[in-house]
Structure 1
Amino acid sequence: MSSRQLVRSWWKQNGHYRWLVQTIASRSALVWMKVVVGSGGLASAVVLVLAAYSMPERQHSGRVTLFVCAAVAALFALRWWLRPVPAVLASILLMGGADIFVTAVALLAGDHIGNASALVLLVAIGLYFTFFHTPRMVVAHAAWSVLSTVVLSIPALRGEHPLAGVAMITAMVIVCGVVLPGLQFGCWLLWTDILSDSLTGVSSRRGLEYYAAQTIYRSSLAHVCVIAVDLDRFKAINDTFGHRIGDRVLTDTAHRLRAAAPDGAVVARTGGEEFAVLALLPPPEARVLAERLRRAVAEAAEPVRITASFGMATLPPGRPRDGGAARILAELLHRADAAMYRAKQQGGNAIAVDEPWLAPASPWSLPKATSDAEPTGA
């Protein structure tokens, strides 16, 4: 992948806020995340109170305004400390509102302390966007931060210290416009590497869980299809030709599956010689995809001839999806694996379908799998 393609992939990512919050919660560290984010509001409240007391008593209206702003900042802190972590959109609105609030308060304060505090808080908000939201949000925050810095620097630019104003603007451009996007890009590269299988280059089991979470939550009105793939008699290949050839077979199979899968599908290696394909397709189209994948694997002749057994399971639209993406994925994988083993019992190089419409009312009860494994010629 060229550097341009890499940057394009980074820019188009949909963010991993929900997954990251779930990961933090699974490590029992969610309370610390809430404390850290809420502390930003508390720090703002303290600075505003100090700024209000530092104003001359004759500026009564200005002091009242700063006290009101301090109360708003304190409410922001309490919201993070006492309420559940917000959803994706609520998180963006909260932190975007904090951007506007910080700039407005700095303009009201109209002093060097207020300006310096605003710049620090804007960088802190930028760090939040960097770790939790998309590159587009980071760039939008950077544009707002630079614009705010320019406005706040106008008195210095027009006064006796124009270089101080230029320094403030330059620092904000570098930090929010270069450093923070670069930091997110580096974290995204590391994250992408963690979610990939080191041997084959397709997604790992963790990567499948991550992309499945995004797919399942964004596609409540679409069929979700999982196809389990298990190479036939792979142990014999390792025993006969050695593990080096076995690794080449796995890598070649992964490339063939990825080439045959539709755009937007996730191809993952879930075990030694086991793969899974996740796609948004109704059962008839998913069945066609499974056949295309079977042929792609069976057509391989280098380094050795190989076939695979396929099992397919789908989640129809309208089924409840509030049990957690990991649980839904585990259910689909379980059903697809059960169907795949039926295909393997037919001699391999076959497809078996777990029909979702035969499932009972509860989406978490396993349906009685159909026995339509179809051996097909190599």
Structure 2
Amino acid sequence: MNASGWRRGGDHYYWLTAFLAAHDLQRRTCRAVAASIFGLGAIGPILSLGVLGPGSAAGMVVMAGVSSCCVVMALLWLRPGWPSRRVSWACVVVGTVCIAASSIVVPSHSLGILGVTTYAVLGSFVVVFHSLRLLIFTWTVGAGALAYLAVRLAEDDVSMAVATVLLIVLVNVFAVFACRMVVRLIANDTPYGDLEPVTGLPGRHAFFERVSGLIGARTRDDDRQLVVVVVNLDGYSLMVDVRGRAEADGARVGVARALRETARRDAVIAHPGDAEFWVADLFTTRDPHPLAERIRGAVANSRSGLTASVGVVCTPLEPLAAVPTDDVVEELLNIAISAMFEARRAGGNQTRDAIDPALTVLAPPRED
């Protein structure tokens, strides 16, 4: 993602999904969104208990429908896992209609026009997670509801109607503007040259740098082996052709999340290309097979619906510090990629490993 992408107002749902996952904030965000939806949905039943509630049977039905929709949407955000972009879009559309309906059916026009203020909450969510096109839809529906209520309120007090409309517009515009600026600051401060924009994982260059750090500075005294894993998604190209790029991006986000949950905290995880992921970690033993199997199983059980061919290489750590680390990482990746292709040729959804292979970077120079 870059500055021009922000100016075009593109949808950045998956990038923020990855950003939240990288900072372990997805679950808390889901709970906050669910609590906000549930709280807004509870306003209708509370009003129905008093004299300002809907005065007709039709109004009561509308308010009950709005509350039911809010409960369903809140439960969607409380489900295990992060909601898909399509689910989030649906919640925004339904929420937009629900706010308008609940504001209009209230007998008191001054109370109804106050309810339109809640578009500031919805608009803030849209500008953070979605596109300006969806924000335009939300504001268009909100403007229609606001205009209707303002006209009805102006029948009793024109100055009150004008002042209220001005206040609501200012609150909504400021809330959306502030949220957009915050997210743009996050985007500008993130080193996109080192991050893959969909998953938020490091790219090739960052992987080389971080693995070089692993080689040069051991995190534990008993670390003796460097393990590099190459994960290639089976059938990814077919998914892009059949389901489209959006579904494929969602699958990559799911795989990235599965790898984060499977690997150790100190492991280096990277995503250099569409169908490929890399993992590097330090081990105390020469048996990386359990890690490779956990990764294979995590991908197969993820929401991506894909399987993976996994290649892994394990080599002693100590000799590597004496040679250029970039050359070491490059050769280990090539060995792991060869093992991965062997697993793919065997049918995919398998692992292959190379234990302590002979590395050319460690070979003594030839004598002339």
- What is the TM-score of this pair, normalised by structure 1? 0.54
Partner of 1:289: none
Q: Deviations over 1:174-227 (max 9, x none)?
A: 33345414421332222430x21xxxxx634xx34xx251799xxxxxxxxx7x
Q: Which among 332, 335, 339 is matched to residue 278 of structure 2?
A: 332
Does the residue aligned with 1:203 lie in a helix, a strand or coil? Answer: helix
- Distance between the aligned counterparts of 1:31 and 1:167, measured in 2? 37
Q: Which residue of 134, 146, 150 maps to 1:149?
A: 146
Aligned equivalents of 1:368 and 1:94: distance in 2? 48
CA deviation profile, 1:229-285 (whole Å, cap 9, x unmatched) = 6xxxxxxxxxxxxxxxxxxxxxxxxxxxxxxxxxxxxxx57627979xxxxxxxxxx
Separation in structure 1 between the aligned mates of residue 210 and residue 19 of structure 2, nearest angstrom: 27
Contact 1:95 1:125 in 2 (8 A): yes
Q: Which amino acid aligns with 2:18?
A: W
Aligned-residue CA RMSD (Å): 4.8
Instruction: Provide the residue aligned with 1:19 in structure 2.
Output: 18
Residue of structure 2 in register with 1:176 after alignment:
172
In structure 2, runs of 5+ residues without a counterpart are 214-227, 237-250, 260-268, 272-276, 281-310, 362-368
| Distance of 1:32 and 1:350 partners within structure 2 | 37
Q: Which moved more, 1:96-105 or 1:51-60?
A: 51-60
Counterpart secondary structure, 1:324: helix
Conserved 8 A contact 1:34-1:80 = yes
| Residues 365/317 of structure 1: CA separation in 2 closer, same or farther (3 Å cut) | closer
Change (3 A) 1:351 1:214: closer
Q: Rate the CA distance shift 1:23–1:145 in 2: closer, same or farther, 3 A.
A: farther
Amino acid at match of 2:144: L
Q: Structure 1 residue 351: deviation in Å? A: 7.2
Q: Quick one: distance in 2 between partners of 1:38 and 1:186?
A: 22
Of 354, 357, 365, the match for 2:341: 357
1:141-161 deviation digits (Å, cap 9, x = unpaired)? 33333333223212124x242
- Where 1:358 maps in the other structure, the secondary structure is helix
**In structure 2, what is the Cα distance between the partners aligned to 1:184 and 1:23?**
20
- In structure 2, the CA distance between the partners of 1:82 and 1:367, relative to structure 1 (3 Å rule), is closer
Amino acid at match of 1:357: F
Q: How big is the shift at 1:120? A: 3.0
Query: Who is 1:254 aligned against?
Result: none
Q: Distance in 2 between matches of 1:351 and 1:81?
A: 43
What amino acid does structure 1 have at the position aligned with 2:87?
A
Contact 1:38-1:79 at 8 Å conserved across structures = no
1:19 Cα deviation (Å)?
1.9
Cα separation, 1, equivalents of 2:170 and 2:149: 17
Q: 2:232 aligns with which of 282, 291, 315?
A: 315
Given that 1:138 and 1:180 are in contact with CA atoms closer than 8 Å, whether structure 2 keeps it comes out as no
> Superposed, which structure 2 residues align to 1:232-271 within 5 Å?
268=206, 271=209
Residue of structure 1 in register with 2:186 after alignment = 190
Normalised by the length of structure 2, the TM-score is 0.55
* Counterparts of 1:346 and 1:82, CA distance in 2: 44
> What's the offset of the Cα at 1:88?
1.6
TM-aligned CA deviation for residue 93 of structure 1: 0.5
Per-residue Cα deviation, 1:56-91 (whole angstroms, up to 9, x for no partner):
997444345434544444444455446755222101
Identity of aligned residues (%): 11
Q: Counterparts of 1:1-378 in structure 2 under 5 Å?
A: 6=3, 8-10=5-7, 11-12=9-10, 14-15=12-13, 16-23=15-22, 26=24, 30=27, 33-34=30-31, 36-51=33-48, 53-54=50-51, 59-81=56-78, 85-112=82-109, 114-157=111-154, 159-177=155-173, 179-193=175-189, 195-196=190-191, 203-204=193-194, 207-208=195-196, 211=197, 213=199, 228=204, 268=206, 271=209, 315=232, 318=235, 323-324=255-256, 327=259, 329=270, 331-332=277-278, 334=280, 353=334, 354-355=337-338, 356-359=340-343, 361=347, 365-366=351-352
Equivalent residues, number: 271
